[in-house]
Amino acid sequence: MLTPKQQQLLSFIQTRLEERGVSPSFEEMKDALDLRSKSGIHRLINALEERGFIRRLPNRARALEVLKLPDAMHRLPKEIPVPKAAPARLPIAANDILEIPLHGRIAAGVPIEALEGHNMLSVPAALLGAGDHYALEVSGDSMIEAGILDGDFALIQKTDVAREGQIVVALIDENEATLKYFRREGKSVRLDPANSAYEPQTYDAGQVRIQGKLAGLLRRYN
């Protein structure tokens, strides 16, 4: 059984998801429940999650999904209330910020050692499509004619295959990575820059392993 505050918060989250498709912020929840601090909201969220009424969506900032309502609140039978002419579940929060792993720096010029890291990068969801993604910070200028500049964050969709002409992360000899156009030449692989000052790089196919393809770019302006 939920406390009055837990029930009030659950109702507020559900209403916001139905109206906007986005879960409310902790500040909005605090104001709606007339609490003095957000710590009370955190406790209520944890309690609702432990009781199976809500869940946090992974890799999404402050995103919540309502899983069920108590009998005292339900408008339709037990599981999730369904608005008329809507799918059989409440809309999942459409928060537009995702967090993806940030794996070091990658050369857009000469290949450098591929780095693994434990940092995360917040990215607008609109820049990403389906599948798993990670980010690499670009180092170098060999892709400038493709609009990829030094210091950009390359948003990479994980894949081990690529089509002719796609921009990929290629791992060379299992220890160096580079961002280039992918081409095939017989049994060889050619990695083309997008800068006339650089020469294409050609390798035996067995030396090159595709680790992802470019899905988008994130740029900071200081």
With residues binned 3-state (H G I as helix, E B as strand, rest as coil), the percentages for the chain, rounded to 5, are 20, 35, 45
Say how many Å lie between the first and final Cα of the chain, rounded.
Answer: 51
Asked whether residue 8 carries a pLDDT value surpassing 80, the answer given is yes
Q: What is the pLDDT of residues 124-151, one digit of tens each?
A: 777 777 788 889 989 889 999 999 999 9
Q: Are residues 77 and 121 in the same domain?
A: no
pTM for the full model?
Answer: 0.56
Q: Are residues 123 and 178 in the same domain?
A: yes
- DSSP letters, 130-175, are SS-EEEEEEESSTTGGGT--TT-EEEEE--S---TT-EEEEEETTT
Q: Are residues 169 and 208 in the same domain?
A: yes
> Catalytic positions, please?
142, 180
Q: Please name every residue paired with 191 in a beta bridge, in sequence order, or none if there are none.
A: 182, 201
Residue 122 confidence (pLDDT): 85
Q: Strand pairing of 153-157 and 208-218?
A: antiparallel
**110 and 91 within one domain:** no
Residues 48 and 136 in one domain: no
Neighbouring CB atoms inside 10 A of 91's CB total 17
37-92 per-position pLDDT tens digit? 878 888 888 888 888 888 877 655 557 888 888 865 554 333 434 344 334 344 44
Same domain, 133 and 40: no
The pLDDT tens digits for 178-187 are 999 999 998 8
Same domain, 115 and 196: yes
82 and 109, same domain (yes or no): no
Pairing assessment for the beta strands 176-185 and 64-66 based on DSSP bridges: unpaired
- Angstrom distance (rounded) from CA 11 to CA 14: 5
User: What's the CATH number where 181 sits?
Assistant: 2.10.109.10
Number of domains in the chain: 2
Are residues 17 and 73 located together in one domain of the fold? yes
**Last residue of some domain: 68, 95, 122?**
95
Task: Tell me, rounded to whole angstroms, the distance of Cα 187 from its chain centroid.
Answer: 35
Domain boundary among 95, 118, 144: 95
Q: State whether 47 and 15 are in the same domain.
A: yes
Which of the listed residues 71, 95, 119 is the one where a domain comes to its end? 95
What CATH number did the domain enclosing 61 receive?
1.10.10.10
Alpha-carbon span 17 to 121, nearest angstrom: 25
Q: Identify which of 133, 149, 134 has the alpha carbon closest to the alpha carbon of residue 194.
A: 149
Do 209 and 107 fall within a single domain? yes
| Structural domain for 145, as ranges | 97-218
pLDDT, averaged across the chain: 80
Contact in structure between 137 and 207 (CB atoms under 8 Å): no
Burial class (CB in 10 A: 0-12, 13-18, 19+), 70: middle
